[in-house]
Chain A
Amino acid sequence: MSELGQAFVTALRLIVELDPDLAEIVLLSLQVSGSALLLAAAIGLPVGAVVAILRFPGRRAVIVALNAAMGLPPVVVGLLVYLLLSRSGPLGPLGLLFTPTAMVIAQTLLIVPIIAALTRQAVEDLSDEIDEQLRSLGASFGQRIATLLFEGRFTLVTTLLAGYGRALGEVGAVIIVGGNIGHVTRVMTTAIALETNRGDLPLALGLGILLVGLALTINGLAQGVQEVARRAA
């Protein structure tokens, strides 16, 4: 109990003091996971929608693969990206290893399946109602996809939040491809891993509480925006 209490006190102190090192870490976390989310959305939303309405051979297998890939262990994605970006790997000459860009790539790969799979389900449910109509109106394939994504936007916000949460909370991938370098690639989760290693458990948990608070704030904001948009619609 005393350790848990200490962690909450630490979390409060971290927020109140607004330590610049910590602010940098929080900002980098938001930046890396935010970039990964944008990229993953740009890939995952259209892919999910296409798989939802297009009938093609092997479609069932693709759906199973997408659903299964939602559970990809971050450390495996991290290793894969590491081997690609390592100086001895195929993309080594780019010199991207141990940079925030490498972390964005890893997290993007990690959450594309989540966004694509959940989008596929959402759009498929929706297409039963309106895709028939769209086709009878003579809408092109691109128009159908755009319309379905637009009509499903409220469900898809939750999809994006799921992806963002996964990116923001994972440590396995970013610690391998980022290297947890102070002031360069240290994010919230790798900082927590570091403090755990140093045996400073209250500080580690304090950072964890801060991370949860951050996730709550982001989800709260998204919820608010959604409600405002719903009312306007």
Chain B
Amino acid sequence: MTLRGGALVLTLCLLWSAAGGSADRPFLTLASTTSTRDSGLIRYLVPRFRSLSGADVRVVAVGTGRALELGRRGDVDVVLVHARQAEDRFMADGHGLLRRDVMYNDFVIVGPRSDPAGVAGTGAALAAFARIAEHEATFLSRGDDSGTHQAERRLWAMSGVEPSASSDRWYRETGNGMGATLNTASQLGSYSLSDRGTWIAFRNRGDLRILFEGDPPLHNPYGVMIVNPERHPHVKVDLARRFVEWLVSDEGQRAIADFRLEGQQLFYPSAGR
């Protein structure tokens, strides 16, 4: 009986792998940020590339820190992230074959409508951050080494305050994605930094509002990189090149510019600049 059971399991496994391996279409694996997935950009771009190339793009959406790690380990072919310094390090360390600017949008400071720290009237992002620290108003950090988290840490450093979750009671780290952090912020009535794409797509705002936006330090550029095939020979370089070339082509850039969510443009092309 056990033997027959074993044979059955083996057969099922073979059937399974046959089904799983039926990848009828060539595909590329892309590590991207949650912002590009949660905003719907990926779901909008992939079918366009598919109809052009016949290839699928399988997207693993994680924070920038983990996306780069997936690239370093060779688990994906292409990385689309937003943390310029970390991207430059990735390239300098030889993990990438090439890097291109793709698009940008911006970060926004969100918080409770009542705005207890008076962020709305500050006129500058760094002043807004300083104001939050001064009032010791609860601020929720991603704390997950994502692009948004890195940008947030940079903004704190530039504003002359470097709060830490271990010593400052008002500064909290969720260690979670943007959406999960916004869910928490909306419950706690705290401030946070969000990329605009995730914010616009986010449905559970509750009392949260954009309190500050539109200052150059809040610039949020995205870059795309192909994983270095010299380190990871299985990387699908040709397909990866086609994808990246399409993203930065006039057509790809127009597609990005045309993407709308609730009537708003979320990403601005930057490859031609």
CB-contacts of A8-66 with B (<8 A): 31, 35, 38-39, 41-42, 46
Q: Is B182 an interface residue (CB 8 A)?
A: yes
- Could you say which interface size class chain A belongs to? 35 or more
Partner of B38, one of A38, A89, A142, A198: A198
A100–B20 CB distance below 8 A: yes
Given contacts A86-B75, A88-B73, A146-B1, contact A181 B60 (CB under 8 A): yes
A169 at the interface (CB under 8 A from B): no
The A contact surface, by secondary structure, is helix
Give Cα distance in the complex from A35 to B20, angstroms. 13
A214 to B122, CA, bound (A): 52
Closest A residue, CB atoms, query B201: A198
Closest partner residue, chain A, to B31 (CB atom): A179
Question: B17 — which chain A residues lie within 8 A by C-beta?
Answer: 101
Output the least CB separation between A88 and chain B (Å): 4
Q: How many whole Å from B124's CB to the nearest CB in chain A?
A: 29
**Other-chain contact of A87, B9, B59, B74, B177 (Cβ < 8 Å):** B74
Q: Which of B202-210, B241-249, B265-273 contacts A (4 or more CB under 8 A)?
A: B202-210
- The CA of A198 and the CA of B183, in the complex, are separated in Å by 9
Stretch of A68-76, A90-98, A116-124, A223-231 lying at the B interface = A90-98
Contacting pair A92 B74 (CB below 8 A): yes
Question: Contact between A196 and B183 (Cβ–Cβ < 8 Å)?
Answer: yes
Residues in A with CB closer than 8 Å to B1 are 146, 150
Contact flag A42-B5 (CB < 8 Å), given A87-B232, A198-B201 = yes
Q: How far is the CA of A100 from the CA of B22 in the complex (A)?
A: 12
Query: Taking CB as reference atom, which chain B residue is nearest A199?
Result: B204
Q: How far is the CA of A197 from the CA of B13 in the complex (A)?
A: 33
Residues of B within 8 A of A104 (CB): 16
Q: Which residue of B lies closest to A87 (CB)?
A: B74
Question: Is A180 an interface position by the 8 A CB rule?
Answer: yes
- Please tell me if the beta carbons of A199 and B16 are within 8 angstroms of each other in the complex: no
Smallest CB separation, A37 vs chain B (Å)? 10
Distance in angstroms from A62 CB to nearest chain B CB is 20
CB contacts (< 8 Å) of B240 on chain A: these are none
Number of interface residues of B (CB under 8 A): 36
In Å, the complex CA distance between A98 and B31 comes to: 11
Contacts known (A42-B6, A101-B20); A95 close to B58, Cβ less than 8 A: no
A4 to B61, CA, bound (A): 28
- Say whether, besides A197-B34, A200-B203, A200-B204, A98 and B74 are in contact (CB < 8 Å): no
Known: A39-B9, A87-B73, A197-B38. A100 touches B205 (CB 8 A): no
Residue pair B74, A99 in contact (C-beta under 8 Å): no
- Per-residue contact bits, chain A 192-231, to B (CB 8 Å; 1 contact, 0 not): 0010111111000000000000000000000000000000
Measured between beta carbons, the chain B residues less than 8 angstroms from A139 are none
CB of A5 closer than 8 Å to a CB of B: no
Q: A-B contact count, CB below 8 Å?
A: 85
A199-B205 contact in complex given A86-B73, A182-B59, C-beta closer than 8 Å: yes
Q: How far is the CA of A221 from the CA of B234 in the complex (A)?
A: 45
Q: Give the docked Cα–Cα distance between A145 and B59 (Å).
A: 46
Residues of B within 8 A of A150 (CB): 1
Q: Is the CB–CB distance between B58 and A98 below 8 Å?
A: yes
The CA-CA distance from A93 to B85 in the complex, in Å, is: 31
Asked if A184 is at the interface of the complex by the 8 Å CB criterion, the answer is yes
Q: A86-B75, A180-B61, A181-B59 are in contact. Are A99 and B178 (CB under 8 A)?
A: no
Residue of B nearest to A100 (CB): B20
> Do B29 and A98 touch (CB < 8 A)?
yes
- The interface residues of chain A lying within 8 Å CB-to-CB of B5 are 41-42
Given A42-B5, A197-B180, does the pair A180, B74 have CB atoms closer than 8 Å?
no
Given contacts A93-B234, A98-B60, A181-B58, 16 further A-B contacts (CB under 8 A): A41-B5, A42-B5, A46-B2, A97-B75, A142-B2, A150-B1, A197-B179, A197-B180, A198-B38, A198-B203, A199-B182, A199-B183, A199-B204, A199-B205, A200-B203, A200-B204
Can you list 28 A-B pairs with a CB-CB distance of less than 8 A?
Answer: A31-B16, A35-B12, A38-B12, A39-B9, A42-B5, A42-B6, A86-B74, A87-B73, A87-B234, A88-B75, A92-B74, A93-B234, A101-B20, A142-B2, A145-B2, A179-B58, A181-B58, A181-B59, A194-B37, A194-B38, A196-B180, A196-B183, A197-B38, A197-B178, A197-B180, A198-B201, A198-B202, A199-B179
- 8 nearest CB pairs, A to B: A197-B179, A199-B204, A87-B74, A179-B60, A199-B203, A199-B202, A88-B73, A181-B58
